[in-house]
Amino acid sequence: MKIILNKALLCEAVLNVSRAVSSKSTILALEGILLKAKNQSLSLTGYDLELGITTSIEADVREEGEIILSARLFSDMIRRMPSDTVSIESDEKLLTHIAGGKAEYTILGLDPEEFPELPAIVKEGALKIEAQVLRSMIDQTLFAIAQTDAKPVHKGSLFEISEGMLTVVSVDGFRLAMRREPLADESDQRFVVPGKTLSEVSKLLGNPEEMIEASVSRKYIVFHIGGYQVISRLLEGDFLDYRSAIPKESSTTVTISTRSFMDCIERISLLISDKLRSPLKLSFSENTIRASCSTAIGKANDEIACEKEGNDLEMGFNSKYLLDALRACGSDEVLLELTGPLSPMRVVPREGDSFLFLVLPVRLKND
C-alpha cells in the first residue's frame, strides 16, 4: 500500500472512527483501525464487536492495499505531523512507513485478515429523520439510560415507531425520559439501541438539516451520517412497559421557570456530595417552592416563586436526578405534575407533549 492524503481530512476521520475502537482487548486487531486503499480513496474502520464506525476519504493511491494500525499510536502520529499532507506506505512484511514533512515513523502493522468482518445488514425497515431532530431526541433521553448491568436492555434507549410517531424512551430505575416526534413513516417498529452507540451518533450529527437514514434488521442497526456508517448491535430483552409507569393523573400542577428552578437546586446542592448524601426537600405551597437540605456540614434553605394549582405537597428528591431532567428540557418554562409525596414527579413542556421526564422521589424521614 502506498498513499498520500490530506492531514486534516485524515485526522478527522481517524478521530471519529477511533470511537469504535476497543481500548483494551484480548484480540489485538480490535485495538487498531483497518485501512483499505482502493480506487483513489482510503476507507477507515473501527470495530469492537458491538459498535463499528467506517468512512472513506479522498487519497492519492499509488498502490492499493490493506493494513491494521494501532488506533492510539496512529492518531498521535498524524496529529503531530508538521505538514499538510501525510504519506503512508506498507510492505508485504507489514512494516508501515508514515511521513509528513521531516517527521517519519516506521511501525509494524497487523495482517488485515485478523480484522473481524462487519455484520451484513439485511434491511427490515428504514428510518429517515432530520439530523437536528435526532440529536435532540438522543440528547434529551441519554441521561436516563441505566449504567448498571442489572437489566442489560435498559443500557439503551427504546425506539418505538407507531402510527406515524417516533418515541424514544430511556429508564434506569430512578427516572424515565421520553421524547416524541411525528415521523413520515407508517410502519410499526420497536428496537433498543445501546447508549454508547447513541452517544457516538450524536457526536457525528453535524449538518442540522441533513436527512439521516437508519437501516434496521433483527439484530443490528446502521446509521448513515454524512460520509460515515455507524453499525451497532441492538439490545435484546423485555424493555420496561413505560406507559404503565407514567402516572395518569396529578393533584398538583406547578409552572416554573426552568432556569430559576435549576439555580435554586444548584445553590442548595452545594452542601450535598457523594460523601454527604442528603435528599433535596421541596415544599410546594401557595405560589412558592421552598427548597432545603441538611447534611453533616450544615443546612441550606432557599425559595422561588411559581404558579401552583392544587394541593400543597412536600417531597424529597435526589438533586442530581432532578437537575439532569431540567437540563434536558430545553424550554424556558416547564410544568411539574405531582400526585403525592411518594409518586413520581412528571416534568413536561408547558405546551404540547414533545417530552416527558419522570423523577422518583426519595422518602423523607418524617414520611
Provide CATH code, domain 246-359. 3.10.150.10
Q: At 92, list the grid cell.
A: 508485504
- Cell 434507549 belongs to which residue? 157
**Sequential pLDDT tens for the chain (367 residues):** 999 999 999 999 999 999 999 988 888 999 999 999 999 999 999 999 999 999 999 999 999 999 999 999 999 999 999 999 999 999 999 999 999 999 999 999 999 999 999 998 776 667 899 999 999 999 999 999 999 888 999 999 999 999 889 999 999 989 999 999 998 876 788 999 999 999 999 999 988 889 999 999 989 999 999 999 999 999 999 999 999 999 988 999 999 999 999 999 999 999 888 787 889 999 999 899 999 999 888 999 999 999 999 999 999 999 999 999 999 998 999 999 999 999 999 999 999 889 999 999 998 876 5
Q: Which fold has domain 125-243?
A: DNA Polymerase III; Chain A, domain 2 (3.10.150)
pLDDT of residue 253: 96
pLDDT of residue 366: 65
Instruction: Confirm whether 125-243 and 246-359 share one CATH topology.
Output: yes
Enumerate the domain spans of the chain: 2-114, 125-243, 246-359
- Is residue 38 within 8 A of residue 47, CB to CB? The reply is no
Q: For residues 347 and 320, what is the distance between their CA atoms, to the nearest angstrom?
A: 15
- Is residue 54 within 8 A of residue 116, CB to CB? The reply is no
CA atoms within 13 A on the CB side of 329: 27
- Is residue 215 within 8 A of residue 224, CB to CB? The reply is yes
Using DSSP's 3-state secondary structure scheme, residue 12 falls into helix
Each as own residue / partner, the long-range contacts of residues 75-83 (CB below 8 Å, 24 or more positions apart, any chain) are: 75/11, 75/14, 75/15, 75/18, 77/105, 78/7, 78/10, 78/11, 78/14, 79/11, 81/7, 83/7
pLDDT of residue 124: 63
Looking at residue 365, what DSSP letter applies? T
Residue type, 131: A
Q: Helix (H) and strand (E) counts for the chain? A: 7, 26
Angle among Cα 26, 30, 32 to the nearest 5 degrees reads 125
Q: Which fold has domain 2-114?
A: DNA Polymerase III; Chain A, domain 2 (3.10.150)
Residue type, 48: D
Q: For residues 275 and 267, what is the distance between their CA atoms, to the nearest angstrom?
A: 18
Nearest to 142 by CA among 225, 199, 191, 205: 199
The CA-to-CA distance between both ends of the chain, in Å, stands at 71
319-355 CB burial, b ≥16 within 10 A, e <16: bebbbbbbebbeeebbbbbbbeeebbbbbbeeeeebb
Q: For residues 320 and 326, what is the distance between their CA atoms, to the nearest angstrom?
A: 10
